[in-house]
Amino acid sequence: MIIMKFGGTSVGKPERMKKIANLLLETPGKKIVVLSALSGTTNALVKIGDELVAGNSEAAENAIATLENHYLQFTEELFESEAYRAVGKEIVSRYFSLFRLLAAGNPESYQTDDRTYRELLAQGELISTELFYHHLQERKISARLLPALHFMSIDENQEPELEKISARLKPLIDSMQHLDILVTQGYICRNHLNEIDNLKRGGSDYTASLIGAAIRAEEIQIWTDIDGMHNNDPRIVKKTIPIAELTFDEASELAYFGAKILHPSTIVPAQKFSIPVRLKNTMDEKAPGTLISNKGSRGEIRAIAAKDGITSIRIKSSRMLLAYGFLRKVFDVFEKYRTSIDMITTSEIAVSVTIDDARQIGPIISELENLGVIETEKDMSIVCIVGNQMAEQPGLLDRVFSSLNDIPVQMVSYGGSPNNISILVKTADKNKTLEKLNEGLFHLS
């Protein structure tokens, strides 16, 4: 069995949904198809939710009406026959009645508990899969809907429960053995309270790899709007090139450090069971894309990615001098506030760390102040250079630093992993950093 995940742009136009059905017909064997919401829908639902939180019910109502028109137009073009157009209208009207019902709830409930908000966000994937399923029906392609809310779950720490997912999923799939195509929702899940929840933005990739791992699939395919992982961020850098193969470690670092093509956690479940992940372009299915697997590639710089929203914290203390146990005290504070550290550098009298989740920064700083003088800076970005056996490449650091000689680098982490050099810069300097490294390391400009 293979998993085929199609992202927002891949399902975002009626002709693209039709193309997905063709791709499924051309792909032999059994497959679980994971769909995102149509492009723009989750953003629109977030906006509706935000308007409701802010008490702007009229703005929410307008946004719902705009989205409804989009869906009415979409179903008009997706379905060919009058009978199925009627089915399409019924589906749209059912979902939008629900949106209005959710919107009509007590506005205060949005402020105190985001349950309704999360329920609203989940509707994007529910409607896209239902529309696609009926499109398959209209074309007499046999398939079944596999409701993600029946098997996908996260625990109280928001971590997916892989074993439980597997135990629920296997009998469901066994009961549908006669079918080659099972369609399910990306992104959505249930939490430990059995409420509707999600795997965070971009989470459909994660759904695909969790399902792949849960059923030990042969391959996990992520179909998107670009021909695989590129060597640098194509949204920022003018000239980028696709990479044919990556190891799990390389892809994992790139996803974690901001390559938007993959949700940060996508590689983890796939790597656990050595299931290859293939990135493919829905708009150009002949393009080779990227294969992520155990197979290594040696001695090369592969790609650069960047992660924004980083805060740096420096703890300066003369008590650190020749002392042991100091770092443990620092780490204890972060552990207490369940905040993970991305980068760390130390000198004899200071330690600097970066975090990407600054929600607990207040209490963290007040406790760190018992250890020394604290300086923080926000609006930073980590630029991550990913490759293989980087320490063994003579002159590599020289090439990195000479590329960046007019950029104020705030922190550098090298040697922690053979796959990664991380550089901290102000977010205002990020685009220039990516361009300069593209020139210096890949000779692309």
Residue 263: is it exposed, middle or buried by C-beta count within 10 angstroms (0-12/13-18/19+)? buried
- Work out how close the CB of 93 gets to ligand ADP at its nearest, in angstroms, rounded to a whole number: 26
Q: How far apart are CA 168 and CA 163, in angstroms?
A: 9
Q: How far apart are CA 320 and CA 89, in angstroms?
A: 68
Taking a C-beta distance cutoff of 8 angstroms, is the pair 289, 243 a contact?
no
Count H helices, E strands: the chain? 15, 16
Does residue 36 bind ligand ADP (CB under 6 A)? yes
**Whose CB is nearest to ligand ADP?**
7
Question: Which residue among 124, 212, 258, 269 contacts ligand ASP (CB under 6 A)?
Answer: 124
Q: How far apart are CA 376 and CA 355, in angstroms?
A: 11
203 binds, among Mg ion, ligand ASP, ligand ADP, none (CB under 5 to 8 A by kind): ligand ASP
Does residue 202 bind ligand ASP (CB under 6 A)? yes
Q: How far apart are CA 399 and CA 416, in angstroms?
A: 19
Question: Which residue among 2, 3, 4, 8 contacts ligand ASP (CB under 6 A)?
Answer: 8
Taking a C-beta distance cutoff of 8 angstroms, is the pair 43, 50 a contact?
no
- Work out how close the CB of 231 gets to ligand ADP at its nearest, in angstroms, rounded to a whole number: 7
Q: How far apart are CA 249 and CA 259, in angstroms?
A: 14
Does residue 235 bind ligand ADP (CB under 6 A)? yes
Q: How many residues of this chain bind ligand ADP (CB under 6 A)?
A: 19
Residue whose CB is less far from ligand ADP, 202 or 212: 202
- Work out how close the CB of 302 gets to ligand ADP at its nearest, in angstroms, rounded to a whole number: 10
Residue 384: what are its φ and ψ, rounded to 5°? -120, 125
124 binds, among ligand ADP, Mg ion, ligand ASP, none (CB under 5 to 8 A by kind): ligand ASP
Taking a C-beta distance cutoff of 8 angstroms, is the pair 317, 392 a contact?
no
Residue whose CB is less far from Mg ion, 20 or 351: 20
- Work out how close the CB of 142 gets to ligand ASP at its nearest, in angstroms, rounded to a whole number: 26
Residue whose CB is less far from ligand ASP, 20 or 423: 20
Does residue 261 bind ligand ADP (CB under 6 A)? yes
Question: Which residue among 4, 6, 7, 182 contacts ligand ASP (CB under 6 A)?
Answer: 7
- Give me the residues paired with residue 383 across strands: 306, 423
Tokens of 131: 């529309």
Q: How many residues of this chain bind ligand ASP (CB under 6 A)?
A: 12
Q: How far apart are CA 314 and CA 309, in angstroms?
A: 17
Residue 221: what are its φ and ψ, rounded to 5°? -110, 130
Residue whose CB is less far from ligand ADP, 122 or 315: 122
Candidates 232, 45, 227, 62; CA nearest to 123 is 45
Question: Which residue among 10, 42, 311, 388 contacts ligand ASP (CB under 6 A)?
Answer: 42
The torsion region of residue 336 among left (phi > 0), alpha (psi -120 to 50) and beta comes to alpha
CA angle centred on 179, ends 81 and 219, rounded to 5° = 110
- Mark the segment that binds ligand ASP (CB under 6 A) among 202-210, 291-299, 317-325, 333-341: 202-210
177-206 footprint of ligand ADP as x/- string (CB under 6 A): -------------------------x----
- Work out how close the CB of 241 gets to ligand ADP at its nearest, in angstroms, rounded to a whole number: 10
- Mark the segment that binds ligand ASP (CB under 6 A) among 35-43, 220-228, 313-321, 429-437: 35-43
- Work out how close the CB of 305 gets to Mg ion at its nearest, in angstroms, rounded to a whole number: 14
- Mark the segment that binds ligand ASP (CB under 6 A) among 86-94, 195-203, 276-284, 373-381: 195-203
Strands 144-146 vs 341-346: parallel, antiparallel or unpaired: unpaired
Q: Length of the chain in residues, anyone?
A: 445
Residue whose CB is less far from ligand ADP, 237 or 371: 237
187 binds, among ligand ASP, Mg ion, ligand ADP, none (CB under 5 to 8 A by kind): ligand ASP
Strands 188-190 vs 196-198: parallel, antiparallel or unpaired: antiparallel
- Mark the segment that binds ligand ASP (CB under 6 A) among 34-42, 283-291, 356-364, 373-381: 34-42
The torsion region of residue 139 among left (phi > 0), alpha (psi -120 to 50) and beta comes to alpha
Residue whose CB is less far from ligand ADP, 36 or 123: 36
Q: How far apart are CA 439 and CA 445, in angstroms?
A: 6
**Helix extents (H) in 104-203:** 107-112, 115-138, 162-174
Q: Which residues bind ligand ASP (CB under 6 A)?
A: 7-8, 36-37, 42, 124, 186-187, 201-204
